Amino acid sequence: MFKKILIANRGEIAMRIIYACRELGIKTVAVYSEADENSLHVRFADEDVCIGPARSADSYLNVPAVISAAEITGADAIHPGYGFLSESAYLAEVCEACHIKFIGPDPQVIRLMGDKARARRVMKKAGVPILPGSDGPLDNEEKALKLAKEIGYPVIVKATAGGGGRGMRVVRVPAELSHAVKTAQREAEAAFGVGDVYIEKYVESPRHIEFQVLGDHHGGVIHLGERECSIQRRHQKLLEESPSVALSDKMRRRMGAIVIDAAKAVQYTNAGTFEFLMDPGGRFYFMEANTRLQVEHPVTEMVTGIDIVKEQIRIASGERLSYKQGDVTFTGHSIECRINAEDPDTFVPSPGVIHVFSVPGGPGVRVETFAHSDCTISPYYDSMIAKIIVHGRDRQEAIGRMKRTLEMTVIEGIKTTIPLHLRILADPDFVAGKLSTSFMDRFLARPSTGRLAEAV
């Protein structure tokens, strides 16, 4: 087992990793940018190293600085969290070369899954249903038009190196395809450095369903069920839950088995998530696999009782999985709301000093945050300041529990998206479980009647 883990991240996920390390008796090293000098994760780590100025590229994304910090502190492993360097095959390789364990999959698996077009091909071979689409990057306009005709409009043009909704264009008629491809290529080049794009069938109003897997270095692979993450704005998740109302036990078992086969096909180790679109007819289509811990992992932890971060650490240190598939049970329902420092109506970022920060307790409430009274939310990093997670016996209790928890949460000094979440939780379609990735578009387009009455 590791003696000392360096956390190559910040904010709430750095805190999350510290929780697991402390419970496992492992020493922690926090790295921080000058903007995070007084951050909670720095305070609670056993050691801390300033690795650069506020700008992420010079600090949290700075591989030499992170590795050097591990060297001078004698850390024997690095947990990359999510975002930042968590899907950097380069960091994973440098770790290997420096005899530091990277807590995540092997670099070649990271690379494979990071190449979206290649991942699709490999998944298809492994028997995973994928969206019909180009098997590789688009070569020329003629082929693109022909393929789009075969697939059937609407189609979506996507960057092979992309993610997070960037480098994507929906095309509904052949006349728009050429322009969409060129624009997506330019965007992809600018955002990811690689201008390759591929096309696939565009499913209208699908549900976003993802499966959590864990694989060890002894061939053991299990799944921990699904999460539904259909509530998204511009491809950024706002609210997630587990289980999905749309999945029966039978569907869960079937998709779980498919996902395990897929993970084994690529010799997947450590934690990972396989993302699917599910159409109204209950058909699943593989979208992409994320070779890291996800933001919304807590809803799975609440429903299964499994500590995913501890399992990641154990797996990386060479231990077998603590659970067999038969040990994995699903109890109750969990919902997570991502609280962002943004105006709840305009989504304009709201950095600043939080004067009052108070979150309630009570049964089935879990808060993941780095925020506290008198803390500064700086403008340099993403706007998520807290995750509020609830667990209830069923979805109805979970919704009621989240509502009262958000109503009793006090964050003063900055704006947050709590009012938006309360509106979502009160929405009849949401309560009925009528979800799809177009939910927020419809929701935000509605006239805001009665908003004053609902304002917290």
Catalytic residue numbers, as ranges: 292
Whose Cβ is closer to other proteins: residue 49's or residue 385's? 49
CA 155 to chain centre: 24
Of 242, 308, 259, 240, give the one whose Cα is nearest residue 104.
308
Q: In whole angstroms, what is the distance from residue 226 CA to residue 253 CA?
A: 10
CB of 72 to other proteins, least distance (A): 4
Minimum separation from the CB atom of position 155 to other proteins (A): 45
Measure the CA–CA gap between 409 and 364, rounded to whole angstroms.
15
Sign of the alpha-carbon dihedral angle for 200, 205, 207, 210: positive
Give the residues lining the site for other proteins (CB under 8 A).
Answer: 34, 49-53, 59, 64-65, 67-69, 71-73, 94, 98
Rounded Cα–Cα distance for residues 89 and 112 (Å) = 10
Closest listed residue to residue 437, CA positions, set 198, 237, 210, 242: 237
**Residue with Cβ nearer other proteins (14 or 65):** 65
Tell how strand 4-7 and strand 27-33 pair up. Answer: parallel
Contacts by 134-142 with C-beta closer than 8 Å and gap 24+?
Answer: 134/198, 134/199, 134/200, 136/198, 137/196, 137/197, 137/198, 138/181, 138/196, 138/197, 138/198, 138/199, 141/177, 141/178, 141/181
Return the bridge partners of 341, or none: none
Q: Give me the half-sphere count of Cα atoms (radius 13 Å) on the Cβ side of residue 291.
A: 27
208 three-state secondary structure: strand
Measured from the CB of residue 75, what is the shortest distance to other proteins in angstroms? 12
The amino acid that residue 273 corresponds to is T
Is residue 264 classed exposed, middle or buried when 0-12, 13-18 and 19+ CB atoms within 10 A define those classes?
middle
Distance separating alpha carbons of residues 423 and 439, to the nearest angstrom: 13
Nearer Cβ to other proteins (54/265): 54
